[in-house]
């Protein structure tokens, strides 16, 4: 059976309504495909759903998936000194920047207790947890609903492993699409020009594990406010930033 797609044709997005529907699908054990700034993600909160998504992605033993949630969930699940925790809060909550993190976890936290050994192995690596803190209005609302229900959402990009981010629902492979029960279609995603996943930061060691979309913005903020000089982006330079350029159309002179 094909997944249900929202919003329906002719219906405008409503992030609170759509997040509520996604949450109810998760609560019922389902699998959802939802928008993130970096492309579409496939997620679940049940062991069966996590397994279904993992198999559809053709992941192999040893590949990880991550927790996706709010800064509040990150704060509850991870162990960091106050200054590092505050840094992640400012970057994600105050500066509205989605970020993938790796940080020491509270291994006995009750939100992890329901995971099967296989799924716990996929979500954790040693004593660390990989987590995406999503800060779009939709993901922030979905994260809030999950927090209130003590529900842990786990997932990864909505693509077969190694095929790259899918930035429109229409580009998602049929196998991945068919694995979902609900799809939230918000069109082309924000960082499509980068053709990258999200940045991954090892927070404890302040080490970049992956340079992702919008990394040059993230890097400048970290250096400006906390003094960490992270590795530069080899493609997106910022040394000439400061002058804006517009593309004029044939009608520009009338305005």
Task: Please report how many Cα atoms fall inside a 13 Å half-sphere around the Cα of residue 25, on the Cβ side.
Answer: 25
What digits encode the pLDDT tens for the residues 155-187? 999 999 888 899 999 999 999 999 999 999 999
What digits encode the pLDDT tens for the residues 50-71? 999 999 999 877 778 899 999 9
pLDDT bin (cut points 50, 70, 90) of residue 80 is: very high
Give me the pLDDT at residue 242, please: 61
Q: Domains in the chain, start-ordered, CATH in brackets?
A: 4-238 (3.90.870.10)
Of 98-102, 117-121, 243-247, the one with minimum mean pLDDT is: 243-247
Contact 128, 136 (CB under 8 A): no
Assess whether pLDDT exceeds 80 at residue 251.
Answer: no
Neighbours of 116 (CB within 10 A): 12
Spatial distance between the Cα atoms of 58 and 64, rounded to a whole number of angstroms: 12
pTM summary value: 0.91
pLDDT bin (cut points 50, 70, 90) of residue 25 is: very high
């Amino acid at each position: 059976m094909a997944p249900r797609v929202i919003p329906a044709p002719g219906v405008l997005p409503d992030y609170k309504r759509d997040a509520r529907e996604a949450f109810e699908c998760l609560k019922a054990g389902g699998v959802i495909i939802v928008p993130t700034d970096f492309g579409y993600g496939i997620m679940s909160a049940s062991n069966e759903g996590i397994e279904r998504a993992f198999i559809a992605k053709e992941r192999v033993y040893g590949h990880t998936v991550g927790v996706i949630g709010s800064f509040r969930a990150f704060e509850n699940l991870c162990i960091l000194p106050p200054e590092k925790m505050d840094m992640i809060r400012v970057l994600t909550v105050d500066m509205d920047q989605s970020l993938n993190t790796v940080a020491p976890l509270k291994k006995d936290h009750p939100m992890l207790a329901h995971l099967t050994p296989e799924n716990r192995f996929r979500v954790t690596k040693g004593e660390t947890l990989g987590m995406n803190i999503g800060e779009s209005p939709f993901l922030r609302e979905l994260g809030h609903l999950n927090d209130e229900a003590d529900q842990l959402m786990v997932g990864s990009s909505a693509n077969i492993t190694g095929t790259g981010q899918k930035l429109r629902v229409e580009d998602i492979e049929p196998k991945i699409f068919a694995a979902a029960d609900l799809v939230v279609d918000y069109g082309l995603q924000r960082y499509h020009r980068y053709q990258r996943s999200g940045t991954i930061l090892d927070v404890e060691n302040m080490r970049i594990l992956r340079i992702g979309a919008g990394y040059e913005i993230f890097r400048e903020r970290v250096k400006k406010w906390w003094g960490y000089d992270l590795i530069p982006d080899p493609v997106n330079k910022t040394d000439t930033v400061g002058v804006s350029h517009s593309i004029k159309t044939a009608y520009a002179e009338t305005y």
